[in-house]
Structure 1
Amino acid sequence: MKQWTKEIEINAPIDHVWKYLDGSLENMQKIMPQVVSNEPVTVTEGMVGSIYLQKYKEGKRVMEYEVETLDYLDTPNEKKMKVGFTLGGMFEITAGYELVKIDEGRTRFIYTTTNKPLKWFVKLFLLFANDKVVVDFVERVKRVAENGEDN
């Protein structure tokens, strides 16, 4: 299993950043443009255990998978969400988003993702995996949150 964690400071209020992670499909697509659908299947009180059917477009191919909320916290000074899903029967993936209020106009964003191969032959792919996708993602969240909704 591989794990990557990246942290970045965003010059935007915590609630503004949170809406891209825990908001509408339209807001989610601003930071995850490949997500084409995110439909609730089961929504639980407190969110942990909620399941969404998500569709993700990679090139011309659309993959569909269930995303489960594994951890959830929404307070004025700290917000967290961790989700997990299995991609193509090949990888078990988790993504954790944590926001910490620095002050009224600044937020610390910590993104942690894990990738566990489910088949012996895909373990080779992880040998060459790097953090480029993770770095690109946190930088995109920062850019979108700081530059407003027009991205």
Structure 2
Amino acid sequence: MKQWTKEIVIDAPIEHVWKYLDGSLENMQKIMPQVVSNEPVTLTEEKVGSIYLQKYKEGKRVMEYEVETLDYLDAPSEKKMKVGFTLGGMFEITAGYDLVKVDDDKTRFIYTTTNRPLKWFVKLFLLFANDKVVVDFVQRVKRVAEEEGRQQ
């Protein structure tokens, strides 16, 4: 299993950043443009255990998988969500999004993802995996949140 964690400070209020992670499909697509749909299958009151059917477009291929909410917290100064899914029967993936209020206009964003191969031959792919996708993602969240925050 491989794990990557990246942290960045975003010049935007915590609620503003949170809406991209725990909001509408339209807001989610601003930071995850490959997600083409995110439909609820099972919703729980406390959010943990909720399952969404998500469709993800990679090139011309659309992959479909169930995303389960594994951890959830929505407090005024701290917000977190962790989701898990199996991709193509090859990888078990988790993604954790942690937001910490630095002050009224700054938010610390910590993104942690794990990737566990489910088949022996895909372990080789992980040997060459780096953190580029993770770095690109946290920078995209920062860019989108700050640009849209300035426009409001």
| TM-score, reference length from structure 2 | 0.98
Structure 1 gaps of 5+ residues are none
Partner AA of 1:43 in structure 2: L
Structure 2 gaps of 5+ residues are none
Task: Provide the C-alpha distance between the structure 2 equivalents of 1:141 and 1:21, rounded to a whole number of angstroms.
Answer: 9
Secondary structure at the counterpart of residue 64 of structure 1: strand
Q: What does 1:93-108 align with in structure 2 at a 5 Å threshold?
A: 93-108=93-108
Match of 1:20 in 2: 20
Task: Provide the C-alpha distance between the structure 1 equivalents of 2:143 and 2:97, rounded to a whole number of angstroms.
Answer: 16
Task: Provide the C-alpha distance between the structure 1 equivalents of 2:137 and 2:19, rounded to a whole number of angstroms.
Answer: 16
Task: Provide the C-alpha distance between the structure 1 equivalents of 2:36 and 2:45, rounded to a whole number of angstroms.
Answer: 25
Match of 1:36 in 2: 36
Deviation at residue 130 of structure 1 after TM alignment: 0.1
Deviation at residue 97 of structure 1 after TM alignment: 0.0
Task: Provide the C-alpha distance between the structure 1 equivalents of 2:29 and 2:75, rounded to a whole number of angstroms.
Answer: 24
Task: Provide the C-alpha distance between the structure 1 equivalents of 2:123 and 2:100, rounded to a whole number of angstroms.
Answer: 34
Q: How many residues align?
A: 150
CA deviation digits over 1:64-111, x for unaligned, max 9?
Answer: 000000000000000000000000000000000000000000000000
Partner AA of 2:42 in structure 1: T
Task: Provide the C-alpha distance between the structure 2 equivalents of 1:93 and 1:19, rounded to a whole number of angstroms.
Answer: 22
Match of 1:7 in 2: 7
CA deviation digits over 1:99-124, x for unaligned, max 9?
Answer: 00000000000000000000000000
Match of 2:79 in 1: 79
Q: What does 1:105-144 align with in structure 2 at a 5 Å threshold?
A: 105-144=105-144
Q: Root-mean-square deviation (CA), in Å?
A: 0.9
Match of 1:59 in 2: 59
Deviation at residue 3 of structure 1 after TM alignment: 0.0
| TM-score, reference length from structure 1 | 0.98
